[in-house]
Every structure is written in structure tokens, then in C-alpha cells.
Structure 1
Amino acid sequence: MNRAITTLLAFVYALGISHGLACAGQPRNVLIFFVDDLRPELGCYGVDSIHSPSIDALASEGVLFERAYCQQALCAPSRISMMTGQYPDHTGIVDLFTPLRKVNKTAMTLPLYFQQRGYVTASFGKVYHHLRDDKTSWSEIPEPPSKKYADPNTLNGIAKRVREAKEQHLGVEKTRLAEKGPPTECFVTEDEGYRDGVVANQAIASLRENKDKPFFMCVGFAKPHLPFAAPKRYWDLYKREQFTVPSRERPDGSPGLAFTIWGELRAYHGIPQEGELSDEMTRELMHGYAASVSFADAQVGKVMAELDRLGLRDDTIVVLWGDHGYKLGDYGLWCKHTNFELDAHVPLIISAPTHSREQRSKALVEIVDIFPTVASMTGGDVPESCDGKSLQPLLQNPDQKFRSFALTQYPRGSTMGYSLRNDRYRYTEWIQAGTKRVIARELYDHQDTDTPSRNLADSPEQREHVFRLSQQLDAARRIENTNVNMKK
């Protein structure tokens, strides 16, 4: 009898119940797809011209959030906010160059949270911006494949330019430009000719290895981030003439702080160092971006197919999100790095067993909500450090209200822009760090468009509205800062 009891207890322990794993009827596995620079322009988001069958299929198996917003339109702080469930003012990281563990050795993160609950924690591809950040919290974190271009002629060309720049002592900046290569590439190759194809295979191998264990897996696809390089068959899904050059007109009355010089794109070979792009180059980049989206979509499909084949789908929460939005010539701008709607608005899909399927939610949600969502849905307690809220109520009833507004921020030197997005408007204040003085305001009406043509902040008819929004934003920031101080 004692031996039987001992055996039973060992079996219970192996199931993870004593580690706080999911209770009966709750999924125990978590699979999160990170997609870099992904606009919420996919088939499932109503853009039929984009070929995204795998992500569309995932949306049909869960809840698509129509109004999800990142906390900052920059890779490193956005991903760190997601992985900690904290706003950038809480993490203290608002730049591209600071890994989380460089400034906070003990912050609770998603991989650490699940590691402490007895999960296998695996990271493939671009998850954190600094790929090996939080490395002690991962069971698996293989070296990422480094190939960005598949065409050997392109690679040779880059090497030649770098060598010439060094031989001519052209300096660090021009050598860096030479290293970038062209912003697009269309090459006949298998998916594994590019990094994301290899990343998908790494994730598939891990699923096979860990199919009998509870796992928390993050799979990060770099595309459609620059360079817009993808196998030719994905380019062939589109025709160049189908892409329409967007208006380059900036909103009337917007402060200079609102805009960016899109230096990220200008670093690539063949892009002018100043001025606008030609219509021809704009269409080429839009074509390359669309091809890269379809390439990333195919990699999502491969991993999901293996999840199904292994019989793990009914026991796994699947999340797909984009780390921030992206501009493709809108307002004459490129890339991200602003508080505009195009930069802050992101795709978010959550598919979970026993929850709503093929549903859409118009609720305002934030990316800091992902951590508490997967924690609660796997039967765990939500850490007190999390600033977000569990989306589980919306996964059960997508039509209910959730929050009054979503917050985004972006710095310009010592000035921080804080942006509040409610049902209709985006309101932004630019606040100096030292004086705490508001030096510029923006108010955009998004009732009919993502690219409004006028900043309404100084309109006399909007004076009372701006006052109320300013009070609301100030109160939200005060609550956030109070929570930060309490959690230190």
C-alpha cells in the first residue's frame, strides 16, 4: 500500500500539480509567436490583398483583438514590457540598447515565472531584442541563425563594400552603412535559406522533444523587419502595381517631436540619406514588406501544423502578437519610432482551448495584458509586479468593455511623449524630464482613418476635450508611477 501511495504521489508530482501547473480542464502549455514590425493588416484583419492563411486560420480558432496597443514602438522596450507585464516607466527601459537583466537582475518575467512552476521554457529566434537576455530563465535558447540575405552575390557584395570602406578609412558610420546591404531581396531558395525558416524548424524540433512535458515556448520571427528579404515564391504572391503609394502629407499643426527621420531605413544600401523616396522605390519596399509578411505567416503555419500533428493543440494556449506597428511611406515616413496610431496599433490573437473561437473583440487592450492572461489561464497566480490585466474575461465574452484607454509612450531625448488612445481619439503630451512641463500636444480623430490630416489639440472647439484628456492622462501616469514606487 505504501509503495502504491508513493507511486501515485510521484505521478501527481510529474503532472506538475505540486508545482502549480494547470488544474483539470485548463491548458497547461503556452506557445507565443512574436512577429517583428507587423502591421495589423492581414486577411483576418480585413485586408484581403495580404496573403496570410496561417494567421487567418489561427484567428478562426480564437479571439482577434481589433484594438490592441503596444507600450512603445521600439523592439527592445516593447518586448521587455510584454515579457514583464510592465510599462516602460516601470521597467526603466525606453531605448534599444539596454537588456533587461543589465538593469534588473530579479524582475519577474514570463520565462522565469513558468520556469519556477516546473515548465520547460524555450526561446527561438527574436524574442527579446537582445537575444540571450534573461538567459538563466530559459531551458532552451539555441544560437540563432545569423543569415539575413540568402543570395551569395548579395553577401559577397556586402563583404566587398565593407572591405573597401575599411581600406579607405571611411569611418564607423559609412562602414556600418556598407554592412547593411540592400533593403530588399528576392531570391529563389527554400525557406531555410533565411533565418526565420531555420527558427521554425528549431521550434518544431523542440515540440517533438518536449511533447510530454508542460512547456512555455516563445518563437520570434524577424520578418517583416528590414531587410525585406524573402524567398521568391512569396514575392510572386503579389504584383508590384497593386501597391498604392500613400499620401506623404503630414498632419497640419503637428509638432516636430511627433515625427522621425526614419534613419533605420536610411542605413540600407541604395536608400537616400535625406529627402523622400521615389514612387518606384516606395512600391518596391511595400512589395517586399508584403512578401516578408507572407513568409513569416508560412513559418507560423509550419509550427502550428506540428502542434496539431503531435496532438497538443487542445492543451495549448497560442498567442500571436506584433511588437509594434510600422509605417510604409505614410505621412512620408517609414519604420516605427513614434506615438502615431500606425506605430502603436498591433495585431493580437489569442487561441485557447474551451474559450471563444472565431470571435473579434473591439475592447481596448494592451500588450502588458499578455503576461497576466497566460498566467491566470494556466492556473497560476498573477504576479503583483504586473501592470496589465488578464484578458480571460474577453476570451469568454469578447463583446464586453475592458478599459477606457490604452497607453503608449516614446522618448525624444530628455522629452517623453505619452499617448492615450480611447474609443475615438489619440491624445499625446510631450513632457520635459526636468521641468515636467508639457511642451507640445497632439489630438487626432481616428473615427474614420488611421492617418488623420490634422492635429486638433489647438482647436478652440476642442479646448475642454483636451483639458479632460490631459487630466485623464496625468491621472493614469500618476497611478502608474505610484505602482512603480510601491513595487520597488
Structure 2
Amino acid sequence: MKLRFCTLLCCAFAYANIAQATERPNIILVFADDISARELPIYGSSTWTEGRGNDSSNPAVRANTPVLDQMAEDGCWVKTAWASVVCSPSRAMMMTGRFAHLHKWWNNSYKGRYRDEKGKITTWPLYESSPLQIGHVAQQGGYATYWAGKTQMAGDLSQFGFAQGCFTPGNLEDKDNPFTDFKIVKKMVDGQKLVINEDTGEPYDTYDQHGWYFFPHVRLMNHDDKDFQWWPNTPESIESFGLGTYGPDVELDFIFDFMDRQHEQGKPFFVYHTTHLGHGAFDWLNPKNGQTWPGTPVIEWDGDGYTRTEPNITGDNGDYDTHDTVTDIGIHHHINYLDYQMWLYRNKLQKMGIADNTIVIFCADNGTAGYGKNSHEKQKGVHVPLIIYAPGMTKHGEQNVLVNMSDLLPTIAELAGVAIPGDYAHNGESLVPFLFTDRPKHRDWVYGYSRERQIIRGELVMKDGNDRWWDVSAEPADLISFPEITNWNEVSELHRAERDELLVVLPEFDLFDTEPDAPGSDFPSKADKKTDESKKNDKSTNKSTNKNKKENSAAKSASASDNQGWTVVFEDQYEDRSEVGTDYSIGRGMEDGWSVADGVLIGRQTREDHGSVIRVERDFDDVDIQFDFQFQGGTRFNFVIDDENEKSVHAGHICRVSISPKLLSISDDKTGSMNLEVRKQRQNKNLSSDEAAKLAEIMESTQSAVKVEIKPNQWHNLRVRIKGDVMKAFLDGELATSLRSPGFDHPTKTKLGFTVNGESIAFDNFILKVAN
């Protein structure tokens, strides 16, 4: 490996006039947060993000990235680079070069567990599961290492292979930071648990967090002979620290100081810059905005360089004036500021005289919030930008190849002259042979994951986390509207062959059901979503012969075709927050019955006279709903669809699905049990025999029930579909029962949601689709 490295490196840096072939390049890896590839102009997408969940083609909200554009042309940019769907597993992939079957970080809401040295069951730190990471390989190659920005890592931050660090926020402990009150914390107020903005003392509907943009929380690692300390940490920095202090600027100041110190000592450096830019946050300067993409300091590009306006912010307690020195909200401003910082990097390297011996990599951890983040649909969650600039590389401009974020670890190892031991399993492939030779292709497939959902694509076909297949042989204008493959006989033999090759790859990584935690662990189930029975059945099929894989794939495709004609209008994975959120309305007096914890929605009955009610308001007619559920002591739940304006029924109830551990039923409430006339008859104990017989006929014709077996503390999946006057209920992927009844065809449905009876029932991955 070292001999091959020296040969490639000699070739790579011949153009840079490197004195010795063994001279190691400095490496800067900028890992941005929650930014889809489509947000960068070089990717040429016809749409981008204007507001959370809102696509736009408005040039006014398009990012402007002249420096990244130039870097992409002088270096190269990769059309199809994949991470995972959300922060923690993507960072795990980046840092370890491994997929989740090895490091066990399957999603933000399920990180594999182990028993620590004290016997406590806790998250398995990556340095325990994967002791050779990007920081470690750089150190083994003689590099000084620095980590700045977001961490999102469990365990001791000093164990990841970085000599020093500047972290924003330092952590979520508020007790020992004396410098800033930009923090959201949980507090008990008048017997209620609320999420409070410490700056204003007011409750807000968001999750607990500390500020990482203006007036930031900053914690330093291994500075001034101290393991960890809060910054500002000197009289001068304390004096200058204030509302206008911007976290991304602080990070870069410490990075540049580190680069200067290492250059003076003649030592190569590796910078891992995990910036927050791109990630939403609570807008402390404008609390009415809540969780958004807060504004950045104003910058301007004149064609040759940037000028930055120093932030001038006055006020207190949530009432602030930025004096036009801070931009409006929007992710495009975050991307613009990243471009400004890349310009600062470029100028710094030129000033230091090391631009011809420094490799710069720019990428992101997952898709944009509201569009791709945590999505396993197509490649929305995994498709991220990747730009690489390395002096002497043979590749320039657009590169139509496949790259995984796992590839960065072996790439850095090869650049640093470090041989990864042959018995150390990893999933990445070094980019060095592709970047510095005439090699036309990098790898055959890329992979992403979210718990049990696997996403994989080659050059022609892609399977997403919903087990739907897509033809990716041509790139659509919006980078996502690929044609679905529903009939494999209508695509080429090459498409079918690649599908079969991908299906052979997947079983190796498909361990969430059977090995979700550290090897040898046998822990009790935790309140996290596992998998539905249909997934288990699919996976057992996938592990059979190649012939069975083809048949199983065709069956999945046939099922996927049943999804055509529907549009997602609401979905919630209950991630990154501890409160229910404003999309939901809770029954009066039932507020304590609903909460969000560990990435799931939990309902429990709090009133003796009625189950706990929660609803989402949407206008719809035909509808397709899916969600996962887990009985955690509850006795029954109803999934209810209402029309609040319908006066012929009690409480506007139109129809429902009722589930208990032994029974699943569906009912037309409009013409059945909740019709006011029918309800009146049901409550009448003096009906004649004829009236009773007619009532029984109505009840029988408007309800359908089937016996089921719902085991406690196991996750199941329910799908409810209404088309015209037919309702169908699918349990764990299989049709449980269906019914034709006129009330289902009620055209103006306005609400839907849960009513829970008993101690608690958990829900996750709620998806609402309406007919096109």
C-alpha cells in the first residue's frame, strides 16, 4: 500500500513542484450540515429550497457560490455522492469508513448500545466500534489534527484522533457556561414541563438546544493545557465577545491559528471542519421565527472577492435590532456564507504559501431539512454535494461517478501514507486512484441506510428505502424525478442485471433486525422502532438464492406500482425534537397525554372518561396513510378520520380503524355507529325487535373486523387506504380487512389522528398521501 501510495503521490504532485515525492499534502475536509446537492448551483437543479418543505425555482432564493464553482472546475465535483439520510449515521459513515452493520449507528433515534466499563447500557461510541477513524489515520501518518464545529458524537471527544478542537455548541450543559443565555432548556413551570428560551423566559415549541450561530456556545479541547474549557477564555476574547460574535467565524479563527502553528513547525495538518452552516436553529435574534435558518452576517461578492459587514446587534431579552447587518432567513444565505468561508480558506492557503500542497474537500452529511433530511424516498436523503480540489489531480470539472462518504477514510489514509490493516473491515474505496490517474470509474454502487431501510443505486437502477425501484440512467432536471420501474420487462437487460447485482450486495448490511447493538449484546427492547413483519419476510427472501431475489424484486415492484397516483402531503419521523409540535392539535385537558421521546410519538390516556386525542388538520378525500405503532401498555387505539363541518355525525367522525392486541376493525362512522340517528338508536334500550334487527344490520354492514395478534413492545405497521367508498387496512404489509360502505366516500375530510386508551402506545414514521 505504501509503495502504491508513493507512486501515485509522486504523479499527483509533479505539477505542484513538490520537492520530494513523499511530502504529504495538508488536508482540509469541510463537512457541511443538512445540504442537498440540489442546493448548489453547479448541480444544475431546476428546483431548490426556499423555506422548509418548499421547493422553488426563484433565482432570488438561489445560493450564489462563485468560489465553490471555481473550486469545482479547477478541481472536480461528483454528480452522485451519497451519505446516509440524517446526521449521526452520516457522520459515523464519514469518520469510520463503515456502514451501520459495523458501527451500529442506524439513525439519530437508534444508535447501537453496549455495556460500558461500569456496566451501564449506553450508546456504543464509534471509537469502541471502529478504533481506526479519519483522525486516527491522519495521526498515524504524522499529521497534526484539528476538529472544529459540530460533534454529535457519543463518548469522550478526545478519543477520536484529534489533538485539539473548537466545538459549537460545546455541549448541552447550561450550568457552567457564564457567557451566553442563548439556550433552550426544559424546565418545570407551575407543574408543567416546558421548553424555555433562557433569553426571554418564554416557552417555545422547539427542542432543547444551545446557540451555535450568534452569541454562540463554544467549548475548546486541549487548548492552554486544559482538557476542556469554555470560550471566551482570555480577557481580550471576553471583552470582544457579544451578540455579534458568530460561531462559524470563531471556528475558522481557531482553525487558522492551528494551521499557522503547524506550518511554522513544518508539520502537515488535517482539519476536520464539521460546520453547522446549513442546519436550522432557533432564531434568538427573531424569536417569532422559531426554528428556521437564521440569518448570517451580510457578505457581498464583487466578482473578485468578498466583503463582510461586521454584525451590529443591539437589544436584549428577545428584542433585537440587527441594523441591517444580518441577512434574512434562508438556507441560501448559509450556503453563501460557506462560499465566503471557502474564499477565506483559499486566501489563507495562498498567503501561507501552501496552496499547491493542500487538498480541500467540501461535502455535506445529508439532504436539506424539509426535503431530504431523514427521507428514504428515492435519493432525497442521501444525495449530497462533493467537491474536491487537489493540486496535480487529473480529474477536473464534472465527474459522473458514484462516491460514498465512507470513501473518505481510505482516501485520507492513502494520502497520508497509512496502510489500513487487511483485517480491518471497512466499506470505503480510496479516491486517490481515480483522482490522480486516467481511471474512468470509481465504484459500482453507493449505499445509504436508516434503521432497517436500505437504499442502494448503481449507474442504471436504484432501490430506495420504500423498496421501490427507479431508473437512474438519465438525470432529471430536478435531480429526483426518476421514472419508477414497475415492469422489469420494459427496461433493458443491463438494468435487470444491475438490479440482481445490487440485491446480492444488500444482505451483508441488512443486520438491523438481528444485530442492532454491539456484538454479544442481548439487551431488553428499547422504545425505538424496529421493523414490521413484512420487512422481515422481504429480508429473509433477499437472503435466498439469486433466482429468489429476482422474484422477490419483481413482487416488490408490483406492490410499488400500487403507490402511483398519490402525493405525500404530510410526514413526520418525530426526530430532532422533544415536543409534539404545532402540526398537531391535542384534545382539551389531554396535553399531558402526548409527548415525543427518542424519535417516537407517545400517547397515553390521562382522563378516565375518554382516550387521549391528537389530530392533524388537512383537507383531503381519497387518502393513503401509513404509520408504525407499538403497544407499551395501552389497551387500544383508534385511528380516526373526521370532518369538523359535518353535523350529521357525532364529533364529525367519518370513519376509523380500531386496534387492540387481539382485534383490528374498520368502520364507516358516517352511516354507522357515529351517525346521530344511529347513535340515538344505539343508546335507546327500548327498541322494538324490528328496530333492533335493522340497527344490527346497519352496524354489520358498516363494520368489518378480523382477529390479529399484536405483541406488546413490538413494532407493527398499519396502512389505511380509502378510494371512493372502499376502505382497506393493511397490517404489516398484508391486507387485514376491507369494506365497501357509502360513508367512506365522504368528499370533505379535514382531520385525522389517534385516540389512545390505556397507559401508552408509541407511533412513528407517519406518512399521509392524498390522491392526485
Q: Which residue of 2 aligns with 1:452?
A: 481
**Unmatched tracts of structure 2, length 5 or more:** 1-18, 46-58, 112-122, 173-179, 197-202, 216-240, 282-292, 303-326, 520-772
CA contact (8 A) 2:463 2:469 kept: yes
Instruction: Identify the residue that residue 360 of structure 1 maps to in structure 2.
Output: 398
- Which residue of the other structure, out of 350, 356, 372, is the alignment partner of 1:314? 356
- Call closer, same or farther: CA 1:44–1:460 in 2, change over 3 Å: closer
What amino acid does structure 1 have at the position aligned with 2:80? R
- 1:259 aligned partner: none
- CA distance in structure 2 between the aligned counterparts of 1:353 and 1:192, rounded to whole angstroms: 37
Which residue is 1:117 aligned to? 141
| 1:325 alignment partner, SS class | coil
Deviations 1:141-193 (A, max 9, x none): 23435699xxxxxx98977xx68x7324432678673556999x999x99963
Aligned pairs, number: 387
CA contact (8 A) 1:36 1:224 kept: yes
2:189 paired residue number: 167
Whole-angstrom CA distance in 2 between matches of 1:177 and 1:141 = 32
Q: Give the match for residue 68 of structure 1.
A: 81
- In the other structure, the counterpart of 2:337 is 295
Task: For 2:438 and 2:191, locate their aligned partners in 1 and report how far apart those are by CA, in whole Å.
Answer: 59
Q: Measure the CA separation in 1 of the matches of 2:22 and 2:395.
A: 17
Report if the CA contact (8 A) 1:365-1:403 is conserved: yes
Contact 2:78-2:385 at 8 Å conserved across structures: yes
1:139 alignment counterpart? 163
- Structure 2 distance, partners of 1:235, 1:129, is 35
Amino acid at match of 1:343: G
The structure-2 alpha-carbon separation of the partners of 1:398 and 1:345, relative to structure 1 and needing over 3 Å to count, comes to farther
In the alignment, which residue of structure 2 is the partner of 1:217?
A: 271
TM-aligned CA deviation for residue 290 of structure 1? 0.5
Separation in structure 2 between the aligned mates of residue 131 and residue 299 of structure 1, nearest angstrom:
30
Q: Could you say which residue in structure 2 is the equivalent of 1:31? A: 28
Question: Residue 166 of structure 1 aligns to a residue in which SS?
Answer: strand
Identify the match of residue 454 of structure 2 among 407, 418, 443. 418
For residue 107 of structure 2, what is the aligned residue in structure 1? 95
User: Residue 208 of structure 1: CA displacement?
Assistant: 1.0
Preserved contact between residue 458 and residue 498 of structure 2 (Cα < 8 Å): no
Query: Offset of 1:312 from its aligned partner?
Result: 1.7
Question: Which structure has the higher relative contact order (CA within 8 Å, separation 6+)?
Answer: 1
Distance 1:190 1:44, change over 3 A: farther
Give the match's secondary structure for 2:468. strand
Deviation of 1:125 after TM superposition, in Å, equals: 0.9
Secondary structure of the structure 2 residue equivalent to 1:201: helix
Single out whichever of 36-45 and 221-230 deviates more from structure 2.
36-45
2:261 and 2:98 mapped to 1: Cα distance? 32
Q: 1:186 to 1:334 in 2, by over 3 A?
A: farther
Contact 1:43–1:50, Cα closer than 8 Å, also in 2: yes
Structure 1: distance between partners of 2:276 and 2:369: 17
2:467 to 424, 441, 452: 441
* Correspondence for 1:44: 42
Q: Which residue number in structure 2 is paired with residue 202 of structure 1? A: 254
2:71 is aligned with 1:58: yes
Structure 2 CA distance for aligned equivalents of residues 157 and 391 of structure 1? 41
Secondary structure of 1:318's counterpart equals strand
- For 1:204 and 1:380, locate their aligned partners in 2 and report how far apart those are by CA, in whole Å: 25
Please list every run of 5 or more consecutive structure 1 residues that lacks an aligned counterpart in the other structure. 1-21, 149-154, 238-284, 431-439
User: For residue 322 of structure 1, what is the amino acid of its counterpart?
Assistant: A
- What percentage of aligned pairs have identical amino acids? 20
Contact 1:339 1:417 in 2 (8 A): no
CA distance in 2, matches of 1:325, 1:234: 25
Segment drifting more, 301-310 vs 363-372: 301-310
Name the residue aligned to 1:245. none
Residue in 1 aligned with 2:97? Answer: 85
Q: Is the 8 A contact 2:248 2:276 kept in 1?
A: yes
* Alignment RMSD: 4.2
Residue in structure 2 matching 1:177, options 197, 205, 210:
205
Mapped contact 2:214–2:243 kept (Cα < 8 A): no
Against the structure 1 CA distance between its residues 401 and 157, is the aligned structure 2 distance closer, same or farther, given a 3 Å change threshold? Answer: closer
**Which residue of 500, 509, 512 corresponds with 1:471?**
500
Cα offset, 1:83, TM superposition = 1.2
Q: Which deviates further from its counterpart, 390-399 or 342-351?
A: 390-399
Q: Do 2:376 and 2:455's aligned partners in 1 also have CA atoms closer than 8 Å? A: no
CA distance in 1, matches of 2:138, 2:127: 22
The correspondence of residues 268-307 of structure 1 with structure 2, limited to 5 A, is 288-307=330-349
Deviations 1:310-354 (A, max 9, x none): 1122222221111112255xxxx5633424322111111222222
TM-fit CA distance, 1:465:
8.5
Q: Distance in 2 between matches of 1:102 and 1:345?
A: 24
Q: Distance in 2 between matches of 1:196 and 1:475?
A: 43
Letter in 2 for 1:229: P
Q: What's the CA shift for 1:377?
A: 2.4
Are the structure 2 counterparts of residues 133 and 445 from structure 1 closer, same or farther at C-alpha, using a change threshold of 3 Å? farther
Counterpart AA for 2:65: S
TM-score of the pair, normalised by structure 2: 0.44
Report if aligned partners of 2:125, 2:155 keep a CA contact under 8 Å in 1. no
Which whole-Å CA distance do the structure 1 matches of 2:214 and 2:29 have between them?
28
Where do 1:224-373 residues align within 5 Å?
A: 224-227=278-281, 228-231=293-296, 233=298, 288-326=330-368, 328=370, 333=371, 335-356=373-394, 358-373=396-411
> Any idea what the Cα deviations from partners look like across 1:14-61, whole Å, max 9, x if unmatched?
xxxxxxxx9625533221111111222323334684211232232233
Letter in 2 for 1:472: E
- 1:54–1:145 CA distance, 2 compared to 1 (3 A): farther
Equivalent residue in structure 1 for 2:414, among 340, 351, 376:
376
- Moved >6 Å (runs of 4+): 155-159, 173-176, 189-192, 462-467
Structure 2 match to 1:193: 245
Query: Which protein has the larger Cα radius of gyration, Structure 1 or Structure 2?
Result: 2
More helix per residue: 1
Aligned residues of 2:378 and 2:470 also touching (Cα < 8 A): no
Contact 2:25 2:357 in 1 (8 A): yes
Change (3 A) 1:380 1:339: farther
